[in-house]
Chains A and B, each alone.
Chain A
Amino acid sequence: MGNRPPIVVIRNLCKSYFRGNQVIQVLNDISLDIDDGEFLALMGPSGSGKTTLLNLIAGIDKVDSGIIQVGGVDITSLSETELAQWRAMNVGFIFQFYNLIPVLTAFENVELPLLLTGLSKKERRTHVETALSVVNLSDRMDHYPGQLSGGQQQRVAIARAIVTDPTILVADEPTGDLDRVSANDVLELMERLVHELGKTIIMVTHDPRAAKMAHVIKHLDKGVLNAHPQTDF
């Protein structure tokens, strides 16, 4: 495993925002490698830039300078359209607030990313059913998000993230809005995805229990990656 090249390579990444006419340096010269099959937790106080880093890796935000390679592709050089296509193939998203479309059923929500592929209706059905069975929700596929609990909704969101079999999964505070029991279910599910299915997960979290599940923990503070991970939570 260790011999394979890292799946995510980040070099000298910089990113700043304007707030009014004030420039805020969010990420300052970040370099990072993430191996294939790794479960990485990004930690740090609010405003440390962890969500920004995650968004950049997932290709939904643009860098100021530096390089991000995912699966050998330099995503900083892709156009908006190419980036959208790339995301559809390579990234699965898991959000804090699940971000399901309320007017669609669990099945339809999971099916959504597949509409961008050339799969037939029947193939899509098989994929969606598989993904929902992985997250243990095969019996809830015709329910609308409003009819599901928070934990169930997050599991639907995870099914949606894995249905296209993406290169990486990115998760932004996946347990942030869940009670303890549901949070454990979700974390165990993610752990299973890494162990049994060999997925790569990059997760931003505040939750030390969530971080414990991860193989690697990186701390981000004031836009700089901390070389000496602290475990003083």
Chain B
Amino acid sequence: MHILKLIFKNAFRHKLRTFLTILGVAIAILAFGLLRTVISTWYLGVEASSASRLVTRNAISLVFPLPLSYKEKIRQVEGVKEVSYGSWFGGIYIDEKHFFANYAVEPETYLKIYPEIIIPPDQKSVFFRDRKSAVAGRKLAERYGWKIGDIITLKGTIYSGNWDFVLRGIYRGRDENVDETAFVFHWEYLNESLKKTSPLRADQVGWYMIEVTNPNIAAEAAVKIDRMFKNSLAETLTETEKAFTLGFISMTEAIVIAIQLVSFLIIFIIMAVVANTMSMTARERIGEYAIFKTLGFGGFHITGLIFGESLVITMVGAALGIFLTFPAAKIFGKELSTYFPVFIVEPETIYMDIGAALVVACVAALFPAWRAVNIRIADGLRRIG
């Protein structure tokens, strides 16, 4: 017989209570894991961005455009390898509740700068040729059951009217963290229509995407670009893609902080539940601990027994919770794909789960162990019977 066996037997002595506690821990770890995944998803865009890509936009704010004529000037800046451009379209599919990102780009340069967007070659060549065509991400196409050749109508919010696009390609991400819910079409199509309806808004782009030859010169190139357009009608602000994405995220910081806070609250709640179980258990067994002591077992052994039991209960619960996190994340990700285009459980989240469970187990065992170790044997024995 080993002490370990005794710990396991003790843990499952009070079957109902242990079962309830394990269930509680599993739910808490599941919730914790999902919330941590929400947070890591929030920052996923940052992770997916490349260090050798820059974004140039109007210095006033993103809603102000830049002239198309900047393209050639930017291309001539030292270290710039490729320039592409695009405009936020902000069209609505069916109604506002069916939100997904849609924008107009210059397709050939765009796909060169973003090699992580993969379109089958045959679809790609048709997409390049057909100006009224568009490509959609795999998940987006799945969500609405779109097939190649379907006509998709978006209602313009920034550019009025109904816009029809023929779906010519479905792209998938090279890496897991690529957003597969975007809808992309030809900037030329948008521009030609604008030339007819509101010529003042034509030949303007929302932003430039720039690839530099080497990440080390990205900062330098950004400064050069901005200096070039200083004191012009449309001053520019150039940042690395990472900084650009982070800028967006920092504006939603309050939500991230709230979620972070809540995820720790969950751990506190489950700490209270497990600590409660352990203190009840230890109170009931104080007599047994006294017997162990009379037999010559020291405080070390008794502490080990209580910590061990707490660990067994929490770890079984945590394992169950972690196991459930994956299918839950799948369902969660599907239901909330409007908010979170990509929803994957990162290995760090699992480490945090385990860490949190360890902390819960130890904190919960602390006080009962202290009490069991310090009780006088004579008092402990008196409690029996």
Interface residues of A (CB under 8 A from B): 52, 55, 58, 60-61, 80-81, 84-89, 91, 93, 95-97, 99, 101-104, 107-108, 111-113, 115-116, 160
Distance A58 CA – B293 CA, assembled complex (angstroms): 12
Interface residues of B toward A: which range?
20 to 34
- Known A88-B295, A97-B385; contact A103-B13, beta-carbon cutoff 8 A: yes
Listed by A's residue number, 11 A-B pairs whose Cβ atoms lie within 8 Å are: A55-B377, A55-B378, A58-B294, A60-B293, A60-B294, A81-B298, A95-B381, A97-B385, A103-B13, A112-B292, A112-B295
B3-11, B64-72, B184-192 - interface stretch: B3-11
A37 CB to closest chain B CB, in angstroms? Answer: 23
Is B296 in contact with A89, judged by CB distance below 8 angstroms? yes
Given A87-B294, A88-B297, A97-B384, 5 additional A-B pairs, CB 8 A: A60-B377, A60-B378, A95-B384, A112-B295, A113-B295
For A87, the chain B residues whose CB sits under 8 A away are: 294-296
B343 CB to closest chain A CB, in angstroms? Answer: 44
Determine which of A102, A108, A116 lies in contact with B296 in the assembled complex, contact meaning CB atoms within 8 Å. A116
Is A93 in contact with B377, judged by CB distance below 8 angstroms? no
For A107, the chain B residues whose CB sits under 8 A away are: 1
Is B9 in contact with A104, judged by CB distance below 8 angstroms? yes
Please give me the residue from chain B that is nearest to A86 by CB atom: B296
CB-CB contacts below 8 Å: B4-48 with A: 6, 9-10, 13
Distance A101 CA – B7 CA, assembled complex (angstroms): 12
Distance A116 CA – B3 CA, assembled complex (angstroms): 11
A77 CB to closest chain B CB, in angstroms? Answer: 18
Is A104 in contact with B377, judged by CB distance below 8 angstroms? no
The answer, yes or no, to whether B169 is at the interface (CB within 8 Å) is: no
Distance A194 CA – B116 CA, assembled complex (angstroms): 86
Distance A96 CA – B385 CA, assembled complex (angstroms): 10
The answer, yes or no, to whether B202 is at the interface (CB within 8 Å) is: no
Is A99 in contact with B384, judged by CB distance below 8 angstroms? yes
**What 8 pairs across the A-B complex have the smallest Cβ distances?**
A88-B296, A60-B377, A103-B9, A87-B296, A108-B1, A97-B385, A84-B298, A99-B291
CB-CB contacts below 8 Å: B293-312 with A: 293-299
For B296, the chain A residues whose CB sits under 8 A away are: 84-89, 91, 113, 116
For A108, the chain B residues whose CB sits under 8 A away are: 1, 6
| Main SS class of interface, B | helix
Distance A61 CA – B377 CA, assembled complex (angstroms): 7
The answer, yes or no, to whether B287 is at the interface (CB within 8 Å) is: yes
The answer, yes or no, to whether B376 is at the interface (CB within 8 Å) is: yes
For B381, the chain A residues whose CB sits under 8 A away are: 60, 95, 99
Residue-wise, chain B 371-384 has the 8 Å CB interface mask toward A (1 for contact) of 00000111001001
Distance A87 CA – B288 CA, assembled complex (angstroms): 16
Distance A113 CA – B288 CA, assembled complex (angstroms): 14
Determine which of A61, A93, A115, A116 lies in contact with B376 in the assembled complex, contact meaning CB atoms within 8 Å. A61
Determine which of B10, B292, B376, B378 lies in contact with A103 in the assembled complex, contact meaning CB atoms within 8 Å. B10
Please give me the residue from chain A that is nearest to B285 by CB atom: A101
Residue-wise, chain B 269-303 has the 8 Å CB interface mask toward A (1 for contact) of 00000000000000000011001111111110000
Please give me the residue from chain B that is nearest to A102 by CB atom: B13
For B3, the chain A residues whose CB sits under 8 A away are: 115
Is A84 in contact with B293, judged by CB distance below 8 angstroms? yes
A96 CB to closest chain B CB, in angstroms? Answer: 8
For A80, the chain B residues whose CB sits under 8 A away are: 299
Distance A80 CA – B377 CA, assembled complex (angstroms): 11
Distance A101 CA – B285 CA, assembled complex (angstroms): 10
A201 CB to closest chain B CB, in angstroms? Answer: 16
Please give me the residue from chain B that is nearest to A112 by CB atom: B295
Determine which of B1, B294, B378 lies in contact with A111 in the assembled complex, contact meaning CB atoms within 8 Å. B1
Distance A150 CA – B237 CA, assembled complex (angstroms): 87
Please give me the residue from chain A that is nearest to B3 by CB atom: A115
Is A101 in contact with B291, judged by CB distance below 8 angstroms? yes
A59 CB to closest chain B CB, in angstroms? Answer: 9
A132 CB to closest chain B CB, in angstroms? Answer: 14
Is A93 in contact with B294, judged by CB distance below 8 angstroms? yes
B312 CB to closest chain A CB, in angstroms? Answer: 13
Is B6 in contact with A104, judged by CB distance below 8 angstroms? yes
A28 CB to closest chain B CB, in angstroms? Answer: 18
Is B297 in contact with A116, judged by CB distance below 8 angstroms? yes
Distance A115 CA – B4 CA, assembled complex (angstroms): 12
Distance A102 CA – B288 CA, assembled complex (angstroms): 9
Determine which of B1, B299, B378 lies in contact with A104 in the assembled complex, contact meaning CB atoms within 8 Å. B1
A142 CB to closest chain B CB, in angstroms? Answer: 12
Distance A55 CA – B376 CA, assembled complex (angstroms): 11
Distance A184 CA – B381 CA, assembled complex (angstroms): 25
Please give me the residue from chain B that is nearest to A85 by CB atom: B296
A204 CB to closest chain B CB, in angstroms? Answer: 13
Distance A102 CA – B13 CA, assembled complex (angstroms): 9
CB-CB contacts below 8 Å: B341-359 with A: none
For B292, the chain A residues whose CB sits under 8 A away are: 112
For A61, the chain B residues whose CB sits under 8 A away are: 376-378
For A97, the chain B residues whose CB sits under 8 A away are: 384-385
Is A93 in contact with B295, judged by CB distance below 8 angstroms? yes
Distance A96 CA – B3 CA, assembled complex (angstroms): 26
Please give me the residue from chain B that is nearest to A166 by CB atom: B296
For A102, the chain B residues whose CB sits under 8 A away are: 13
For B293, the chain A residues whose CB sits under 8 A away are: 60, 84
For B287, the chain A residues whose CB sits under 8 A away are: 99
A55 CB to closest chain B CB, in angstroms? Answer: 5
Distance A87 CA – B295 CA, assembled complex (angstroms): 6
Which residue, of A52, A58, A84, has the highest number of chain B Cβ atoms within 10 A? A84
A175 CB to closest chain B CB, in angstroms? Answer: 15
Distance A112 CA – B6 CA, assembled complex (angstroms): 10
B385 CB to closest chain A CB, in angstroms? Answer: 5
